[in-house]
Amino acid sequence: MERDLIKKAKSGDVEAFEQLIRKYEQKIYNIALYFCRNPVEAEDISQMAIIKMFKSLKNFKEQSSLSTWIFRIVRNVFLDECKKSFRRHEVEQIENFEFIDKKSAEEIAGRNQLFSWINSAIKKLPEKFRMVVVLCDMEGFDYKETAEILNVPVGTVRSRLNRARRMLKEILRNFSDNFFV
């Protein structure tokens, strides 16, 4: 079904393109938010990425999955915006990650302690490890797709994810030890 939508969208069917975007819009926003850490900027980056996708869909060669192509565009739009606004240091030092979706404030506030610990633990990971956790474990990309998005070898994704999970386990162990003391 997705291939049919891609084919229709490539031939100029706007409704087909909108259906594709509806499928991915929340993930597009989440990745944009991960990069910029600001909900308003994440909305702007998401919109710019969608416009760029619409304009360049005809060039999508389907050698990778659509989701990989989409998230590569989101990443590139963010990097372009950083260059434009002279925020190069933010690209290299994205440290305050908070995985937020567009749910109501009450739902966000009602999350349990475990989620809070996991979120805090993820924030403590260095950026290169945090990104593979977000893409693989939270967004569901496989190693190959993650490697394509991050522009690194598949082996690097595997080793970073393995190391990130060990780091998270240790961080969470420390949280629980301190909580139950």
- Domains of the chain with CATH codes: 1-94 (1.10.1740.10), 110-181 (1.10.10.10)
Residue 6, token pair as written in the block: 């891609």
**pLDDT value of residue 178:** 57
Position 52 pLDDT exceeds 70? yes
Instruction: Assign 3-state DSSP to the chain and report helix, strand, coil percentages, each to 5.
Output: 75, 0, 25
Q: Which amino acid, 131?
A: M
* Lowest pLDDT segment from 15-19, 101-105, 112-116: 101-105
**For 85-109, what is each residue's pLDDT tens digit?**
544 444 443 444 444 444 444 444 4
The model carries a pTM of 0.56
Give the integer Cα–Cα distance in Å for 16 and 153: 33
Give the integer Cα–Cα distance in Å for 41 and 105: 19
